Amino acid sequence: MADNGSILVTGAAGKLGAVGRTVTGLLLDRGLAVRAMVRREDDRAAALRAAGAEVVVGDLLEPADVYRVVSGCRRVYFGMSVSAGYLEATVIMAAVAREVGMNALINMSQMTVSQMSVQNTTSSPQQRQHWLSEQALAWSGLPVVTIRPTVFLEGFFLPLTGPSVRDRSRIELPFGRGKTSPVATADVARVIAAVLADPAPHLGRIYELTGPRSQDMDGVAREYSDALNHEVTYADIPPKDWEQGLKKAGLPEHLTHHLVTMAELNRAGRYDRMADGVERVTGRRAMSVREFVSLHADEFGGRRSSNKTANTRI
Ligand SMILES: NC(=O)c1ccc[n+]([C@@H]2O[C@H](COP(=O)([O-])OP(=O)(O)OC[C@H]3O[C@@H](n4cnc5c(N)ncnc54)[C@H](OP(=O)(O)O)[C@@H]3O)[C@@H](O)[C@H]2O)c1
């Protein structure tokens, strides 16, 4: 099967730092031809085009769109927003891939799937759909590589702790004493780009991805403090208050339900995980919380200058 065509990246618009968008940039940097699938023409699509991608518009829930978009590509990264139609989109992608032929399908999943079985699922509709999607892809016989990251720094910690760290120097989450090892999507994207560039050694593999340390939220807050040069503390807020805040912010029910389950699993210690997938695939250690917060210091309210502290000590 010849494989000199473009690599398809779905969900390529995303926000800054989202997986598909970052993967697109990394593949273009490697000089590879990329077909970037977006849901609509907008500034993000224009930016992808300006960066050198072939931009195609389509809906992952429309089989005819997926057929049009996949045709001519033998390597595909499949990922999209946490949403109610995730399983349907996966099965459509699998059906199309079987019809047109595929050398590698890189499937975005979640690390919680590693703890799931027929008798032990979670109440998150998204985690269940990822678990079922993995089953369906295994039955499909397609050459799949499965990516199972733990919680994202860009997609979770930045939007959900940024405002309270900026305003009150506090991380406010209902995570109890549970430990967590968040991973940067920048690292997740580096793994996916490496696999897409040369899929053969990875086919059939499952890569679990975490950051370099699993620690409780006081430990995470210490890394924020080090990065921002002022004290950031952790407040273990009541789960119901957090859920109300998510609903008030207008998040879709599917996403709210998923986030509420994540918090429950965190409190139960189920995010206390360590995996070496980032280093194994890319040869580079995963980014720490401190490194991430330093890189995004402005979005967390900025790094305070140390002059004042130094002067008061004299
Ligand atoms: N966030 C986490 O902590 C975490 C942890 C582990 C795994 N994951 C997994 O990572 C994936 C999400 O990655 P991400 O945050 O990079 O994605 P994202 O930015 O939320 O979504 C990527 C794109 O998917 C597009 N999309 C949604 N529905 C579509 C449809 N029907 N047709 C075509 N495009 C569609 C969206 O388009 P628009 O922007 O135009 O709406 C969006 O730009 C999910 O599989 C999630 O389970 C997330």
The tens digit of pLDDT for each residue in 26-84 reads 999 999 999 999 999 999 999 999 999 999 999 999 999 999 999 999 999 999 999 99
The tens digit of pLDDT for each residue in 170-225 reads 999 999 999 999 999 999 999 999 999 999 999 999 999 999 999 999 999 999 99
Alpha carbon distance 98, 93 (integer Å): 9
Q: Does position 303 have pLDDT exceeding 60, yes or no?
A: yes
**Sign of CA pseudo-dihedral 134, 140, 146, 152:** negative
pLDDT of residue 125: 97
pLDDT of residue 212: 98
Ligand 1 centre and the CA of 97: distance in Å? Answer: 20
Helix extents (H) in the chain:
19-29, 43-51, 63-70, 86-100, 125-140, 158-168, 185-197, 217-228, 239-248, 253-267, 277-282, 289-295, 307-313
Ligand 1 centre and the CA of 100: distance in Å? Answer: 24
Give the torsion through C-alpha atoms of 252, 254, 256, 260, to 10 deg: 180
For a mutational test of ligand 1's pocket, the pick from 21, 35, 39, i.e. the residue with the most ligand atoms closer than 8 A to its C-beta, is 39
pLDDT of residue 17: 85
Q: Cβ distance 34 to 75 under 8 Å?
A: no
Alpha carbon distance 232, 209 (integer Å): 26
The tens digit of pLDDT for each residue in 216-269 reads 999 999 999 999 999 999 999 999 999 999 999 999 999 999 999 999 999 999
Verify whether ligand 1 is closer than 6 Å to residue 153 (CB atom). Answer: no
Query: In the structure, what pLDDT confidence band is assigned to residue 15 with cuts at 50, 70 and 90?
Result: confident
Give the predicted TM-score (pTM) of the model.
Answer: 0.96
Ligand 1 centre and the CA of 296: distance in Å? Answer: 21
Ligand 1 centre and the CA of 83: distance in Å? Answer: 8
The overall longest dimension of the chain from CA atoms, in Å, is 73
| Ligand 1, atom 17, residue with closest C-alpha | 81
Query: In the structure, what pLDDT confidence band is assigned to residue 310 with cuts at 50, 70 and 90?
Result: very low
For a mutational test of ligand 1's pocket, the pick from 10, 42, 48, 81, i.e. the residue with the most ligand atoms closer than 8 A to its C-beta, is 81
Verify whether ligand 1 is closer than 6 Å to residue 20 (CB atom). Answer: yes
Q: Does position 313 have pLDDT exceeding 70, yes or no?
A: no
Ligand 1 centre and the CA of 218: distance in Å? Answer: 29
Q: Which residues pair with 206 in a beta bridge?
A: 146
Helix extents (H) in 235-306:
239-248, 253-267, 277-282, 289-295
pLDDT of residue 312: 40
Q: Cβ distance 115 to 153 under 8 Å?
A: no
Ligand 1 centre and the CA of 293: distance in Å? Answer: 22
| Cα 197-200-203 angle, rounded to 5 deg | 110
Q: Which residues pair with 38 in a beta bridge?
A: 57
Q: Does position 311 have pLDDT exceeding 70, yes or no?
A: no
The tens digit of pLDDT for each residue in 126-169 reads 999 999 999 999 999 999 999 999 999 999 999 999 999 999 99
Give the torsion through C-alpha atoms of 169, 170, 171, 172, to 10 deg: -140
Atom of ligand 1 nearest to the CA of 182: 3
| Cα 115-116-119 angle, rounded to 5 deg | 130
Atom of ligand 1 nearest to the CA of 108: 45
Task: Find the helix packing angle between 239-248 and 253-267, rounded to 10°.
Answer: 160
Query: How many Cβ atoms are within 10 Å of 136's Cβ, its own excluded?
Result: 16
Verify whether ligand 1 is closer than 6 Å to residue 19 (CB atom). Answer: yes
| Ligand 1, atom 10, residue with closest C-alpha | 108
Query: In the structure, what pLDDT confidence band is assigned to residue 307 with cuts at 50, 70 and 90?
Result: low
pLDDT of residue 110: 98
